[in-house]
Chain A
Amino acid sequence: MKKLLIPLSLFFVGAVLFALSFLSFGSASGDLDISIVKSNSIMPAAHNVYANELALDGKYYLFKAKMTNNGDNTLEDVTVRYRIPGYVEWTELDVIGEMFPGQTASVRCYPKFKDDISEKMTESTEKVEIEISWDGAQEDDIIDEEFSFRISDRNEYLFTNIPAEEIAGWGDVYNNDALLACFVTPNDPIVKYYTQNIQEKILMGETASVTKDPNEAVRFLAGIYNATVLSHMVYSGTKGIPENLQDVSKFSQHNRLPREVITGNTGLCLELSLLYASVLSNAGLDPMIFLVPGHAYPGFRLNGQYYAIESTGIGGEGIGSIMSAEDAFKKGMEQLNEFMQKAQTGDPRYTVVDIHAVNQQGVTPMVLKDDDFLRKKVDDIVTSWGSAGTIAKTSNNSRVASSGNTGSNSGGGGSGGGSSLSFSIPGGWQTFMRPVPEIPIITAQVVAPDQSTTVTVFDVPASSGQEALGIINQYFQNYGMSMQYQLNGNQVTGQTYSNSGVFNWVGKTLGRNGGIRLVAVGAPDYLYNQSSGYITQVFNSIR
């Protein structure tokens, strides 16, 4: 029996170990190794992108965690939760049914921020708390991790999410360009309202998105440009699009939103491009933003063709030059031609953001609420466009006047909005508002029944009568006409030469709303004498 003592003891020890193996195997102690890759910065404007795991193939996550089970035990129902205090409450990110020893799992976080994050006006540093637990985990087993990240203000646009030290080429610098679509806000009630006013007041109706007629679409593009010119919107510079790879300071830009460009009446190239894209999108066109070194300009695609305009042609009185819509379009098309040549050679600095294409990839615009104050600002701006746009009836005659002001002719230039020119329209004459859309400075034309005599109202963004007449002459020259005139005080006489012959006219100028209004009445030279009665009558009524 003594001889059996040792082998039986061995057997007994083996049995105990075997039994213990079941006890320990069923325990929930684990050895999870965690590593986290985080985003350093979040743009509120792109909150819909960060929330969508399908957007741009899931490129924009807040963090991703790699978890490896380095223990001997299988962990069941491994649960990953996170929260961002003040923004996102505890949220279950993923539950991994089983994690075998040696198994690795990857979990990504796409935080759903509330829509009001798009109202965030200051940047801040926030904290993410992550908790990982599993079935049967003890308090000591639960893994807690945290890290901080930056949420910028709603206007900040980061050109890239790649750290500066890793920038290797222009593709890296423009890594975020798809996110520009987040700043294109066609559904913003203020942008919608502005677009409606352009369609109604500037364009007097448009059919670009319905007819797909390029001419009509270009007219729409020019309409946006003219809206900005008529409201005296100005270009203003700040740090902008990067020009070289070392220009790290320009890897972010403070973008005023389209609604802020409209109501603030000023914008940079990129901001104006965002405004155009928003309006074009709202009107059913297919907007594009062309990015080139140090500059951006807007356009659209129609029937496979691209069109562009130089939106910064508005310049500003301080800058000294204001392009006509035709010139801005011509300039835009020249730039577009250069863009295509450069892009075809593979120059990565020349990129285009196809707004609707990236929208389809999950890059959706930020959500903005309606605002009565901003609507009123739009109303004020609209008033400045078409001050001649309303027709008020007088007792026997119609009278063309600026809205709300039918009073005195105080003469002279200046930018005050308190005076205007108006005149009496003889009975039976026909009035046409914005008769030549291509020449937006012609606010109205009133034509005699026999069409012998015509009164034309010009509203020109100029600081003096002389400058206004120069601008009118430029417009006419674009259409093969030329003009000679003599300005005497606020009265002017002139002749316009065209293929149709010579048109003689007289008129008066007056400064209003920062521009000059010219009311001119005249007739073809061979009809001038017989129409002189009407011409004198209308001329004398101008006040």
Chain B
Amino acid sequence: MTETSAKASIADRVAEATPPTVARRVRSLSDRAIAWLFISPTIALLLAINIFPLFWTIYLSFTSYKANRPNAPIVWLGTTHYENILSDPDIWHSMQVTAHFVFWTVAIETVLGFALAYLIDRRFRGHAFWTTVILIPMMLSPAVVGNFWKFIYQPQIGLFNYAITFFTGGDPAAFQMLGEVSLAPWAIVLVDVWMWTPYVMLICLAGLRSIPDYIYEAAEVDRASRWRQFWSITVPMALPFIMLAVLFRGIENFKMFDMVNLLTGGGPGSTTETASITLKREAFESWKTGYSSALAIILFVAVFGLANIYVKALNRVKQR
């Protein structure tokens, strides 16, 4: 035994002294080559389709370029567009519309989604089937479904007005969800809540299921009330998940375009004109390419900045 181990150690020493074999060197070289070969196409595609256009947008935002007049001379304007946008009451109005939309959709979806997840977590008979049914709206195309909600919201003939007046007994032609300044912002909130509550529900459900049973058992032994258990165990332990759902919904709804564009197109007037709709109007209807590029950059920085601050807060909650 000792003889063999001595032999082995000699062999090891010899191996250490000699440089790695050619075969091994080729293999380790090819590992690095494969790594780059595998990663670079994706990076190249993103550079071409996302990053190059981003820099182009930044450049255009300082110029007078108009996409419908490609041959006009391009004038360098410096930060004029940025100054104009930040002092434009219309832009601030559309920011307010966006904030209203984001706040109310995220708030309602979080409460409703969490409540649903809490109920589904009771694991009643058939909960898996009903969960799948609830999930369907969020998988559908917001544009195609948003378009159909326009039909459901029709005054007089629409299902929505009919259902409301069926229960309240008013005149179905008396109100227009999409045509009235006071109702239209809530009409888009309602469709978004309908579509995206399942999303929050699904993430909250994962959070609730991640809480181990023994914590509740310990609370039960300590005679903590159900109410106490809910606020001291369930909510804090599911909080990172809830916050993650809020982050994703917040970003998505800040960018919201398709559903709102088809439902109201920003109207009536500009009551539902979210930032994305303003951007589309300036860029593809007024063709103020330079101006809208500056607006795009401002929106991008806003989303990115807010998301970063939020993620820091999220990580703090997770570490607790």
Chains A and B are bound partners? no
